[in-house]
Chains A and B, each alone.
Chain A
């Protein structure tokens, strides 16, 4: 028997699991920090004895332990922005299946008194139970590995490269349905009238360029603080610009749609800038952020336009296209009218 014990210590181990990790992912928007903390259910069992002893942890057992888990986290995780503690708030947890089993996924939000440039994260979960535990803190494109209970100082902005703003710009134009619909309404008729791809392409190019120029101008003016309007006015005006662009396809008021793109496009720049203003960037970071963000907006826009243009051009003689132009534009006008109202009363 003695020899067998020796053998157990010897044989090269073949691991079927990861060592213990937890993930704390944080997003910073101004003085609000939101994110999620994922802790392995098996680790919670080790720390808090959740199981009734049968070796199987049920969702019911976990939920019953939720208050204890919350207390455990609150006592051991803390965030400070530029040295001032933030108030941590834990939401209602769900489950998430990672490669290594089920994790308790609890939404985290923190109210800080200011927009942070540095974070001090204190993370003391599980180290007293498992010396090989690692807390992986994901914030601002960086991952910081917590190896013991010592607080870690994280410089924000180190990961806010121009690239991250390019990403942000693309994201924004795709999520901002109003900008996309405005542009789509303006380019829809170009294909219909033009039999030559080159002519159609040139008209679309003029419209997109006019829109780009216009919103870039107001984006810069507003971002650097030369001229700003309350977001309620801006957002409502943007919705109205979508109504105007859509109606123009139905009633054919203005034929020079590049002019519409330019004049109403000015409004959209004010909308884009509010995203950057909300980030509360220091002035020395603003130029890079502006360039990156605008580049991202243009890239996202170009991808949509190129894909759409090809599709529309092939469809231009079909019945569906006529229907799309008239019925689609009317529908967009209707939706955008609703938006205008909602944004005004909100």
Chain B
């Protein structure tokens, strides 16, 4: 090695050392490093908020004057829950909870409060509390269709299929046939009757219904198609849902999953471009772009890391499913993904969670870690094309 090269190498080493040290010395919290500034002028718009509704303002004042008026609190909390959904902003769930604070810790609050409390608990992934509240509510109001439907969802997530069937049967008494069919079909499919469940739901979809219900039923139908291993059909159905409502984030995520599974990550990335604000879509775009070696892979991975860090900083573990997906596909760290997938499985037990745990266990070389899923599948007679393919890789 020439002397000049040696000197250059030493210089590079010194520079690298200095840069490493700089990274080490720099404040380690992004917020602390973010520079504060003064906007150019007083007219600069710094934030958008929902326009104030005069009626709601009046109701808030009335509630402040008489905080025991539960009917006012319920109406205001319901408006905030709707707002959380329509704006995709979970902050309004916390506001709904705060409005109900007076009743939040009561063992037996009024039925209307029970329903809202269960809805908020479900969104915060406290499924056990939601289940308890819904059981109490149904004991008091056995004909509450909404309570039964929410209970069916919560029980399914907890792999309590008998309770879920019970509630779907009640829904069949209380709601239009399409709702009952969409409630029951996934349970029948999980129980080993995928083909019949698919036919039944497809038949129910023939009738007239509202666009919202139709989208829900069609998305469920596509999920059954995936379960049968017919991904091209599922893709067609999800595209049909999106053609009617491009803002349907759930259908868009499902379609992206199908495209990634079908080895079309570039197509999935294009499908999700511009939707990075939504967590469920960002994670899928980051994975798709990574697998397609796209130009935005690094940027999207950083965005996702930042969101995971921000959630962890406040002690949230709501997005474990998405986090495990990301860690497997982008970080390539199957060991860490497995530990997240395990703790996710303790909270929610949907098909997607089962697939994730098995995949992580196989890739991490720890087949025993998949035992809970294998047991769950055996006990409940679960059939799923995707899951079966991965289970064949277990010894």
Contacts and interface: CB of A to CB of B under 8 A. Distances in A.
Nearest to B248: A11
Contacts of B51: 53-55
A132 B279 CA distance: 18
Nearest to B101: A131
A56 B45 contact: yes
A319 interface: no
B104 interface: yes
Interface string B15-32: 101100100110001111
Q: Which of B38, B46, B48, B212 is most buried by chain A, counting CB atoms within 10 A of its CB?
A: B46
Contact of B93 (A45, A99, A132, A302): A132
A170 B43 contact: no
B208 interface: no
A210 B387 CA distance: 68
Q: Which of B10, B123, B253 is most buried by chain A, counting CB atoms within 10 A of its CB?
A: B10
Contacts of A252: none
A25 to B, nearest CB: 5
B7 interface: yes
A127 B99 CA distance: 11
Contact of B21 (A8, A58, A128, A303): A303
A18 B25 CA distance: 28
Interface in B44-75: 44-52
B183 to A, nearest CB: 9
Interface string A1-13: 0111111111111
B149 interface: yes
B363 interface: no
Contacts of B311: 18
A98 B145 contact: no
B49 A51 contact: yes
A8 B82 contact: yes
A170 B6 CA distance: 26
A10 B10 contact: no
Contacts of B90: 13, 15, 17-19, 132
A94 to B, nearest CB: 4
Q: Which of B44, B97, B280, B314 is most buried by chain A, counting CB atoms within 10 A of its CB?
A: B314
B310 interface: yes
A193 B186 CA distance: 83
Contact of B88 (A16, A60, A145, A307): A16
B106 interface: no
Nearest to A56: B45
B4 interface: yes
A131 B21 contact: no
Contacts of A54: 51
Given A18-B310, A130-B95, A302 B17 contact: yes
Nearest to B10: A310
Interface string B78-116: 000110110111110111011001001000000000000
Nearest to B91: A20
Interface stretch (A80-88, A133-141, A266-274): A133-141
16 contacts: A10-B150, A13-B123, A15-B278, A19-B316, A42-B49, A56-B49, A59-B39, A59-B41, A95-B37, A99-B310, A138-B32, A143-B313, A145-B313, A167-B24, A167-B25, A307-B11
Interface of A: 2-21, 23, 25, 36, 38, 41-43, 45-46, 49, 51, 53-60, 62-63, 94-102, 105, 127-134, 136, 138, 143, 145, 147, 167, 170-171, 174, 197, 299-300, 302-311, 313-314
Report the 7 A-B pairs with minimum CB-CB distance, sorted nearest first: A132-B94, A310-B11, A60-B42, A306-B14, A307-B14, A14-B249, A94-B36
